[in-house]
Structure 1
Amino acid sequence: MSGICGSCDFFRDGGTLARREEAHQMGEGLTCPQPVERGLWQSRHCVLVHRRPAGLAPQARQPMVRGWEGAEYALVWDGALTNGPELRRELAEAGFPLDSHDDTETLLAACILWGVETPRRLRGSFAYAFWDGGSGRLLCCRDRLGGRSLFWTWVDGTFLFASQQRALFCFPGLAPRLSQDGLRQLLSLAPVPPPGIEMFEGIHLLPPASLLIFSPDGVSVHPYWALESRPHPDDYPTTAARVRQLADEAVRRELAGPPVLGSFLSGSLSSSFVTAAAALAYTEDGRPPLDTWSLQQNGESSVRQVADAFHTRHRALECPLPSLVNCMEEEGEILEFPAMALSDAGLFFLCLQVSGTCHTVLTGTGGGCILGGSLWPEGEGGTFLPLPRSTALPLGRQIFDPGLWHSSGVEEHGRDHLSRLLDRCPTLDGESPRETQRRRESWLAFNWLLPALLARNERLGRASGLDLRSPLCDHLLVEYAWNIPWSMKTANGRPLQLLRDGTEDLLPQAVRDQAVLPRILAAESLYGQLVRARLARLLDDTNAPIRPLAEERALRRLLMEDGGAPVGSSIPKAHVMAYLVQLNRWMEAFHLSV
């Protein structure tokens, strides 16, 4: 839950007090619960900045600096390594001495010794910036699935990076400007931005599994990992056992690092498995019972059964709807993008309540994307139906200014972007058309939905002082699951059937047999009334940033409609209104106008 940022310039002196103050101001722009530990390192060409909440488990101070063979090296990073012990053994065998078992020192030593090859050796969720004093260059990197964010840009020849976009805008001369792609994304009402979309002009998100090198020759970005399609070698029982083995190992690796003090139970099969595996490991290791939390009304039966079966210290927290609405409005600013899912607000509320009692929590995030739980509907004859992005387009066409809508090319842009993304899917010769279609859908889940879910966890967790970890996103499990046929993942036509069968000896049958994945807090009538009141206030405010975007008559019609969804849409009305309220808050926070 650290925040990192910095600057690098090879043609102007970066060692001045002015450069130091610029970097300090960027650091102050990082969202971090108070009180804060501050760190800054400065050289002739580079400045690295680190922020993290004070009072966390002991950890080496950052930036960490080390001299080696006549050169100075420095590192800032955020995340968690799950193969720290193996890395330390490899470093010792290579003759590289370490003074501690701290992951920061381990990562710095790995970067010094292995340079650009370091990312391939790492396991876990991370983003780092490493000043390579021996070669005179800056290396920036993200983990394979994008569990930690890293943005970068230029200002007058100076390279800037940060784990949050808001920190970049604290640099002199850099102001947030909505990009054309960003405008199209907002008008589409899509709560999950596709990969590669830049919401702000000139602000780039380093892709997952990528290493960026900045040197006097400029910037280059290099992928270091990719999914590969190949025939699946195992039968169904062997596959179920292997998935269970890899998932168990991933959970236990998280427990072997800094103390994991709890787990979130949503009632989903994925969160139930992660909690059960962690609680069982706690019992086997002789630790106290695992702490678990959930929101009331959220898969309560499954949650209670798992908590009772594994003797966790469970607390079901009640979320007052006014508090939920406040979290909903604030989350768009924290996520740095307006969302629509009510579950995000519920997760943020849960994080805020739990952060006072622990700092690290396991989640089941990613299980559906990886193991066959995120299904898009199939039409007659197995046709490929529109994906979630397209379901909101007709509603966006009604709500937003017609001239702005048509001149922006929202619908064409969405189709083109989706097509380019699908074109990159690695196919498998000889695969049936149905399996190929499902592989393409899994590709979208891996590259579109999953990074957005991980970004949500990262940013909402950081804002509340909580480190949310997702063991099911371990890359070895992902690599294996990628080539499991869809017919295995959803045997008998049931989502996540492979995980159900693989946990037969672990989870209660009623939990494994649940037919529908629970959702956090359905859009109740009182919640809708509270959100409607927020939107009504915006319509009465002539200075609200959203006013030039939207058709006032359409918004007032939306406020007057009864029922669960606006005319011509399957999206609940409360979600639509919440999105618009978030959009206005987001535009205010970044001083945006159209």
Structure 2
Amino acid sequence: MCGIAGWIDWQEDLSQQQSILKDMTDSIVHRGPDADGFWFSERAAFGHRRLIVIDPEGGKQPMLYQDGNYTVALTYNGELYNYLELRDELETLGHSFKTSSDTEVLLHSYLEWGEDCIRRFNGIFAFGIWDERRSRLMLGRDHLGVKPLFFTKRDNGIIFGSELKVLLSHPKVDAKIDRKGLAEVFALGPMRTPGVGVFKDIEEVRAGHYMIITEEKTETKQYWQLESQEHRDDVDTTVSKIRSILEDTVKRQLLSDMPLVSMLSGGLDSSGLTAIAGKEYKENGKTLETYSIDFVNSEEDFEQDFLRRDLDEPWVRKVSEHVGTKHHSVVFGADKLVENLLVPMRARDLPGVGEIETSLYLLFKEMKKEATVALSGESADEVFSGYPWFHQKEFLDADVYPWLVNLGFISNLLSEDLKAKIRPEEYRKERFQEAVAEVPFLEGEDELQAKQRQMSYMFITRFLPFMLDRKDRSSMMTGFEVRVPFCDYRLVEYLWNIPFEMKSIDNIEKGILRRAFEGYLPDDVRNRRKSAYPSTKDAAYLEGVSKWMLRVLDNPDSPILPLLDVEKVRKIAEGKVERITGGQARGLFDYLLQINGWLEEYEIEIEL
């Protein structure tokens, strides 16, 4: 895993632009703390920050292929899980390799198959390839968008990088936000629209897409998409195929030259992956190490609710003992969470979700002390349709994203001027309708099945990107790589067409996955009901963010003030609005504090 930066210009000579490119690359040193690399030509400048995972000596970047008077240069972030098969195929076609890295395989894949190479990759990746023969740039991103890639066009060229801060480090790029960007921030929250970079004139390469850019034109092509067809496999065959794909995926994703561990929450998803990985480790005479997160006084403070039915830690211990892992439980208090609230915002370059993101960052920071790579159960709920919303009519019939149905109260806290200019309710509905228009409905499905397919599409293409952003930025901020086996595109393709009633077989969410993990996990673990990502219940956290919010409201220089109905927010911070629960207030303050910090630290110019 790494961080990439690049600048192409068809008019300006870039061969002497070392200072600018170094600033761009240095901005993401956290993504690659082990090494840096640079390459310059008249038309192109590439930078790279490296986190060593595979082939410490041979995977240095930018990587070049030179033949006579031309060069093909690659800067790449990610892992190709099928690179050994691709390497064997390329060798039969006459290619020779100097390293053992997947980077060189990606480069030679491009040399052999051109832009179609991306259709052969199984992995998580974002890359830029400059081809001097054609004077063109190729930007590519993995199927589900696990790895980020942003770009902006300026004058006669294009600037790209792993994170927004790469672009903002360039002197031609100013931190500006217009009405559309503010609508993203206040109407959609951190679940931004795919392809939108929020900052003015900044975009991202969408998941499953690549771009070909020349001086004359820019082409964006979708190389992967969900395709609807009738699911013909019976239950037993479906379970067997899911199990087979997961076993193959986990085995591939255990490949690392650096220490690898597994995240373990005690829930179905991470427990199942841990069991598969633990078996592989045991067969090779090794012990898998696992990590979980907990909070100070969690037992005393725990309150059962719709999202969290019981404590994770007893289940974590049970799975660890069953699989035979060496387990580490990392415990945090409210003070640590408040202290680090703005770190995820700095990692994203955008406001995030607050405490549950902060705790994830702190967990990765601890894991980094002993390892470089981890497996995560992220995305199982999205691809297996595991949320309750899939069978609740209120959400199936809604004309906005289901996760926004109950979040409209934030709009009521905006200033009247801002509401009039960004029209948050209309913006939500417009973005939702755009997503609906993309859904590949299947002829012959009844109304309920079509609604459930639509819901599945929303979660895979709109909600999952937020979860993957959260995981990538929180982990890479600490120079730590997290792999997500449930995002293997082969699994996602297969699951897409499994009817919801089969996915939820045995009258339980993700019932089909529970059957696939039979034999790997004890029955009570397999049948444990879903429990959301843990969150501190310590009253000191709400007290801390409430006081912080009041300080922001009392400071006339706080940049967020013109955007808010200050008195409404003040009443909530003072605890004078009974209909707002403590949990809602925490989430609200987490987000508003990050917005204020973002506007302030990034010195953002607002254009209304």
TM-score, normalization by structure 1:
0.95
Map of 2:604 onto structure 1: 592
User: Is the counterpart of residue 2 in structure 1 residue 2 in structure 2?
Assistant: yes
Task: State the distance in 1 between where 2:575 and 2:336 align.
Answer: 24
Question: Is the Cα contact below 8 Å between 1:5 and 1:163 reproduced in 2?
Answer: yes
Task: State the distance in 1 between where 2:539 and 2:250 align.
Answer: 38
Question: Is the Cα contact below 8 Å between 2:62 and 2:75 reproduced in 1?
Answer: yes
Map of 1:115 onto structure 2: 114
Aligned with 2:292 (options 291, 294, 298): 294
Q: Residues 502-544 of structure 1, C-alpha deviation per residue, up to 9 Å, x if partnerless?
A: 1111111121111232331244312111111221221222111
Identity of aligned residues (%): 28
Residue 482 to residue 61, structure 1, CA distance change in 2 (3 Å): same
Shift of 1:264: 0.7
Question: Is the Cα contact below 8 Å between 2:175 and 2:605 reproduced in 1?
Answer: no
Residue 213 to residue 270, structure 1, CA distance change in 2 (3 Å): same
Map of 1:411 onto structure 2: 425
Question: Is the Cα contact below 8 Å between 2:148 and 2:163 reproduced in 1?
Answer: yes
Residue 382 to residue 407, structure 1, CA distance change in 2 (3 Å): closer
Map of 1:47 onto structure 2: 45
Name the aligned partner's letter for residue 586 of structure 1.
W
User: Is the counterpart of residue 322 in structure 1 residue 321 in structure 2?
Assistant: no
Shift of 1:11: 2.4
Map of 1:266 onto structure 2: 265
Q: Residues 276-303 of structure 1, C-alpha deviation per residue, up to 9 Å, x if partnerless?
A: 11111101122x2101010125611221
Map of 1:193 onto structure 2: 192
Q: Residues 404-447 of structure 1, C-alpha deviation per residue, up to 9 Å, x if partnerless?
A: 11221111111011011111000111112111111100000110
Q: How many residues align?
A: 589
Structure 2: gaps of 5 or more residues: 299-310
Aligned with 1:362 (options 355, 375, 378): 375
Output aligned runs, 1:375-394, within 5 Å. Answer: 375-376=388-389, 378-379=391-392, 384-385=397-398, 387-391=401-405, 393-394=407-408
Name the aligned partner's letter for residue 572 of structure 1.
Q
Shift of 1:341: 5.4
Q: Secondary structure at the match of 1:58?
A: coil
Output aligned runs, 1:150-549, within 5 Å. Answer: 150-188=149-187, 190-259=189-258, 261-286=260-285, 288-296=286-294, 297=298, 299-340=312-353, 342-376=355-389, 378-379=391-392, 384-385=397-398, 387-391=401-405, 393-549=407-563
Map of 2:593 onto structure 1: 581
Residue 448 to residue 570, structure 1, CA distance change in 2 (3 Å): farther
Residue 484 to residue 539, structure 1, CA distance change in 2 (3 Å): same
Name the aligned partner's letter for residue 361 of structure 1.
A
Task: State the distance in 2 between where 1:580 and 1:522 align.
Answer: 19
Q: Secondary structure at the match of 1:134?
A: coil
Q: Secondary structure at the match of 1:220?
A: strand
Map of 1:552 onto structure 2: 566
Map of 1:58 onto structure 2: 56
Map of 2:301 onto structure 1: none
Residue 408 to residue 27, structure 1, CA distance change in 2 (3 Å): same
Q: Secondary structure at the match of 2:515?
A: helix
Q: Residues 173-208 of structure 1, C-alpha deviation per residue, up to 9 Å, x if partnerless?
A: 311111322201222262321323331110010001
Q: Residues 486-516 of structure 1, C-alpha deviation per residue, up to 9 Å, x if partnerless?
A: 1111124321111111111111112111123
Task: State the distance in 2 between where 1:428 and 1:493 align.
Answer: 24
Question: Is the Cα contact below 8 Å between 1:179 and 1:198 reproduced in 2?
Answer: no
Question: Is the Cα contact below 8 Å between 2:53 and 2:258 reproduced in 1?
Answer: no
Map of 1:144 onto structure 2: 143
Residue 547 to residue 43, structure 1, CA distance change in 2 (3 Å): same
Map of 1:25 onto structure 2: 23
Q: Secondary structure at the match of 2:174?
A: coil
Q: Secondary structure at the match of 2:152?
A: strand
Task: State the distance in 2 between where 1:162 and 1:418 align.
Answer: 28
Name the aligned partner's letter for residue 589 of structure 1.
E
Task: State the distance in 2 between where 1:531 and 1:83 align.
Answer: 46
Q: Residues 137-194 of structure 1, C-alpha deviation per residue, up to 9 Å, x if partnerless?
A: 1111000000111111122222111111111111123111113222012222623213
Task: State the distance in 1 between where 2:393 and 2:375 align.
Answer: 39
Q: Secondary structure at the match of 2:491?
A: helix
Name the aligned partner's letter for residue 573 of structure 2.
L
Question: Is the Cα contact below 8 Å between 1:191 and 1:341 reproduced in 2?
Answer: no
Task: State the distance in 2 between where 1:532 and 1:483 align.
Answer: 46
Map of 2:13 onto structure 1: 13
Shift of 1:589: 2.5
Question: Is the Cα contact below 8 Å between 2:80 and 2:125 reproduced in 1?
Answer: yes
Q: Residues 70-91 of structure 1, C-alpha deviation per residue, up to 9 Å, x if partnerless?
A: 5311111011110011010111
> Which range is displaced more, 257-266 or 384-393?
384-393
Residue 335 to residue 526, structure 1, CA distance change in 2 (3 Å): same
Q: Secondary structure at the match of 2:192?
A: coil
Task: State the distance in 1 between where 2:36 and 2:552 align.
Answer: 38
Task: State the distance in 2 between where 1:37 and 1:331 align.
Answer: 23
Q: Residues 338-385 of structure 1, C-alpha deviation per residue, up to 9 Å, x if partnerless?
A: 122532122111011111111101100111111121332655599524
Question: Is the Cα contact below 8 Å between 1:14 and 1:42 reproduced in 2?
Answer: yes
Question: Is the Cα contact below 8 Å between 1:150 and 1:161 reproduced in 2?
Answer: yes
Residue 433 to residue 522, structure 1, CA distance change in 2 (3 Å): farther
Task: State the distance in 2 between where 1:240 and 1:544 align.
Answer: 55
Q: Secondary structure at the match of 2:21?
A: helix
Task: State the distance in 2 between where 1:54 and 1:459 align.
Answer: 17
Question: Is the Cα contact below 8 Å between 1:33 and 1:464 reproduced in 2?
Answer: yes
Residue 434 to residue 570, structure 1, CA distance change in 2 (3 Å): farther
Task: State the distance in 2 between where 1:458 and 1:382 align.
Answer: 29
Name the aligned partner's letter for residue 119 of structure 1.
I
Question: Is the Cα contact below 8 Å between 2:347 and 2:477 reproduced in 1?
Answer: yes
Map of 2:307 onto structure 1: none
